[in-house]
Chains A and B, each alone.
Chain A
C-alpha cells in the first residue's frame, strides 16, 4: 500500500500548480496508470479521497486512465498488448521485447476553477 505516498506526491504537484495558476478550486485530476506501474487504481482513488479533505481539491474527482502493457519485439517488430506479463513475443517467440507503454504513473492534467 504505497498508494498514499504516491498521492502525497500528487498533492505536492497539485498545490504548486494551483498556486501558480491562482486556482480557487480543483475540480478534476486525471492520471495515467500503467498495468506495470505497481500502483492499484482503486487504492489510488481511496487514498485520493482520504487526502483531498480540507484541500482545494476537496470536491475533485480522480479520473484514472488505465494503460495496458504494450510491447514491441526487437526481432520481428511485432507489437502487442500483454495482460499476462510474460515477456515472450507471441509472433516469433523471442524474449527480446521493448516496453512501449504500461509503466506510466503520470499526472496528465488538472481541471481547475480560476477567478
Chain B
C-alpha cells in the first residue's frame, strides 16, 4: 500500500459556474436580459415583480422564474398579472442553482425582453450561485434595518444594484436610507441604488428605466 498525494485545484462551484455561463451565453444571444433577485424572505421581491409587470405592460415582454422552498403561491401571483411564470420548489434547499434554471430552458419563449429570477428568500447562500443572470439585484426592505450590507457582505458585493423596498415605511422606522446606501457602497463601490415602494409605486420607473437601458446595451452588444 502506498500513499499518494494528487494536486487537483478544482473550483467546487465550477460545474455551477459552467452551466451558468452557458445559460448566460444563450440568453445573450437571444437578447433576453436576465435579472436575479436576491433578498431575505418578505423583502418584497414578488410585490416588486408585480409592479414591474404593470410598468412594462404591453411594451415589453417579461417572464419570471420563481424559487421557493414550497408552494406555487408566488408564481400564481405573477400569472395573475398575465405574465408567464415557472415555479421551482426546492423542497428545502436554501438557494437556486444554475442547473435548476437550465432545466426550464426549453420552456422559456425566445421572444422575451426580460427574464426575472426570484431566488429563495435568503441573504446568504444564493449569493454564491451564479444562475446565468446579466444583472444581480439585492433587495433590502426598510423593516430589516439599514445595517444589513456589512452583516451580509457577499450578497451586496456580488450585486450590481441595491433596491431598497418598502420606502413608504421609512418615516415610522429607524431606517436611514443614506446609511443603508453608504454601507452597501462601502462593501461594493460600484453598486447602484434604487429606492422603491410597491405600495405607493415610487421608484419603479427609475428601476425599469435602468433595466430598459441595460437591455438596449445587451442588444447593441449583439448587433
Which residues in A have some Cβ–Cβ distance to B below 8 Å?
1-2, 5-6, 9-10, 12-13, 17, 21, 23-24, 27, 31, 36-39, 84-88, 95-96, 104-115
Contact = CB atoms under 8 A, between A and B. Distances in A.
A1 B94 contact: yes
Interface residues of B, number: 34
Nearest to A7: B12
B157 interface: yes
Contacts, number: 100
Contacts of B12: 6, 9-10, 13, 31, 105-107
Given A87-B187, A95-B189, A106 B9 contact: yes
Interface in B99-133: 124-125, 127-129
Given A36-B154, A107-B10, A109-B7, 7 more contacts: A2-B125, A9-B14, A38-B127, A38-B128, A85-B150, A88-B189, A106-B12
Nearest to B155: A38
Interface in B1-35: 1-16
6 contacts: A9-B15, A13-B12, A21-B4, A87-B186, A104-B11, A105-B11
Contacts of A85: 150, 153, 157, 187
A64 to B, nearest CB: 12
Given A37-B128, A38-B127, A107 B9 contact: yes
Contacts of A110: 5-6, 8
Given A37-B128, A96-B189, A6 B13 contact: yes
B8 A108 contact: yes
Interface of B: 1-16, 93-95, 97, 124-125, 127-129, 150, 153-154, 157, 185-189
B184 to A, nearest CB: 11
Interface residues of B, dominant DSSP: mixed
Nearest to B150: A85
A63 B154 CA distance: 24
The 5 A-B residue pairs with the shortest CB-CB distance, nearest first, are A95-B189, A38-B128, A2-B125, A85-B153, A86-B186
A86 B187 contact: yes
Contacts of B124: 2, 38
B3 A27 contact: yes
Contacts of B1: 24, 113-115
A2 B95 contact: yes
Nearest to B129: A2
B153 A5 contact: no
A108 B4 contact: no
Contacts of A39: 128
A9 B11 CA distance: 10
Given A37-B128, A106-B9, A111-B5, A88 B186 contact: yes
A2 B14 CA distance: 15
A6 B14 CA distance: 10
